[in-house]
Chain A
């Protein structure tokens, strides 16, 4: 009985608190949605604007969506810059996929080596690889330019892949070594008793167990290869070899003083969409890589 008395006594107070709580929640979600709109707006704006007609594409995007009919003119006009846009997308894909594949192979091998074997100079090698992260690659760009020329790789996409892969190695090898460290030794022992050896052990037994790490380093390598600008700008001098960021910068510089903004909108859309799709599918892997690389 005493309990019910206390209950009724505190009822108005609790109600007031609950009311204030709800009020706070409404304010919070209102603000959060507003901020989300601000962060998404530029991307939504450019994607919508890229589908306007040629006549409209140079006008301010107010509103951003096509008002004189939907058209893919802007994308078609992109074809007139050098080779077709498909060619440059192909270049970018080659560099991004090449970087991802090579990074996965090299880092998985190295991660396995660093995790499972003891050999002389192991810790020195590991420290040297990790220490490269301290040196900004921007400061070694000139020698890289000369070095690629010496190796006959100047102006080739392969040269770019090799450099991008090297830049991915400290992060990726660190990730993969940790991934292998987390696999219990007993699994390998059991496989060894079954007669599995060498590279087969790595691919068939360990591979599936470190797959999340492989996905993470592959994703980062792909995105960095796809988006990198400065090295591509410096190392690719032949327009045939341009990747999308370099091509789009020359589109943006315009011809005879006039810039085709419709083509810029279309190009930006082509560059952004693959990144967004990959991220939305593999969000978990991406965030894991980010927090592991930054916090550990």
Chain B
């Protein structure tokens, strides 16, 4: 009984203090204000505007007019857009297979410790820190038919009879850009997959080795199941980034040969900033955005599963 009597006595000062500290907690809003302001002005509002613009005929100069869903209707029968989307998907498949394959091979090579290994790791990673624009400019020079490296090298090695322009036909041009991207980005996926590999306790491999498991068996039954999630994450990041490819196709190929390498973002760029049909470009943006958001939702789901397990 004395206990129940004492309780309110203790409670009073506590609630008073909490009230006071509650006011102090509001200052937190001030700290996040600059970030909120930037995100609202330069992200939320433009996002709303994209939606709004996609429902209008919106030339750069002159009057915009409400057209409802007409832009989207036109989009359905726009071969150029679907071709760009189809090309982007083809490129995404090629780049993803190349990047994840090479990234995983590199990760397996450099997962252990040691000075030599640290050097290899740095060497494989270095192209990642150069920008896409500089890497593309570098490769456009290397693949130039007269002043570059690849064409003369192929000729000197006797692989081609004469100097061939690698960027003039679709096949070689497509693979050249894909190889450039693998060169530039493989190190990135190497690091992500490597951090997954390193989180596998060394005893697992040791125990399997003692039991007589061959290297391939150890990879198949121990490594592969345990890096499933970092692997899935790398996969989705790779797909999302490849779907948004622009720099390399704009700089190296200029969309050519014969406009056969126009990606989705490139198409939006052309529509909005070359033809200045901003409303139509916005409708294309919305379609691309929905595809990417769907990808992100898959990614989030994978992350949540990861935390559950």
Contact = CB atoms under 8 A, between A and B. Distances in A.
B131 A245 contact: yes
Contacts of A36: 119-120, 123-124
Majority-rule SS of A interface residues = helix
A234 interface: yes
Identify which of A60, A107, A145 gathers the most chain B CB atoms within 10 Å of its CB: A60
Interface in B137-172: 137-142, 144, 146-149, 151-153, 156
Interface string A192-233: 000000100000000000000000000000010011111000
B5 interface: no
Interface in B103-159: 106, 109-110, 116-117, 119-120, 122-124, 126-127, 129-134, 137-142, 144, 146-149, 151-153, 156
A144 B285 CA distance: 13
Interface string B193-204: 001100000000
Contact of A139 (B26, B50, B156, B296): B50
A143 to B, nearest CB: 4
A287 interface: yes
A228 B117 CA distance: 31
B273 interface: yes
B3 interface: no
Interface in B179-229: 183, 187-188, 191-192, 195-196
Nearest to B149: A61
Contacts of A294: 191-192, 195, 233-234, 237
A29 B34 CA distance: 51
Contacts of A60: 146-149, 151-153
B28 A234 contact: no
B262 interface: no
A101 interface: no
A63 to B, nearest CB: 11
B133 A142 contact: no
B50 A142 contact: yes
B288 A295 contact: no
Identify which of A138, A230, A264 gathers the most chain B CB atoms within 10 Å of its CB: A138
Interface string B256-285: 000000000100110011000010011001
B49 interface: yes
B86 interface: no
A122 B133 contact: no
Majority-rule SS of B interface residues = helix
A276 B126 contact: yes
Interface stretch (B7-15, B38-46, B69-77, B92-100): B38-46
Interface in A179-198: 198
Contacts of A276: 126, 129-130
A61 B150 CA distance: 10
A229 B269 CA distance: 13
A109 interface: yes
A135 interface: yes
A119 B278 CA distance: 40
Nearest to A277: B129
B282 to A, nearest CB: 6
Interface string A249-273: 1001000000101001101100110
Contacts of B120: 32-33, 35-36
A132 B131 CA distance: 22
Contacts of B281: 142
A165 B244 CA distance: 20
Identify which of B195, B233, B297 gathers the most chain A CB atoms within 10 Å of its CB: B195
A146 B246 contact: no
A227 B42 contact: no
A65 interface: no
Contacts of B288: 136, 138-139
B289 A106 contact: no
A18 B258 CA distance: 58
A39 B126 contact: yes
A158 interface: no
A166 B149 contact: no
Nearest to B297: A134
A60 B45 CA distance: 50
B67 interface: no
Contacts of A229: 131-133, 246-247, 251
A275 interface: yes
Q: Which 5 A-B pairs have the closest CB atoms?
A: A117-B28, A227-B131, A113-B31, A245-B133, A143-B49
Interface of A: 28-29, 31-33, 35-36, 38-40, 42-43, 45-46, 57-62, 105-107, 109-110, 112-114, 116-119, 122, 125, 128-129, 132-136, 138-147, 162-163, 165-166, 169, 173, 198, 223, 226-230, 234, 245, 248-249, 252, 259, 261, 264-265, 267-268, 271-272, 275-276, 278-280, 283, 286-287, 290-291, 294-295
Given A114-B32, A230-B269, 8 more contacts: A29-B116, A107-B35, A113-B29, A113-B31, A138-B288, A139-B268, A141-B268, A276-B129
16 contacts: A36-B124, A38-B183, A113-B28, A114-B28, A117-B25, A140-B46, A143-B50, A147-B42, A169-B38, A198-B27, A228-B131, A230-B246, A234-B269, A234-B273, A252-B137, A294-B192
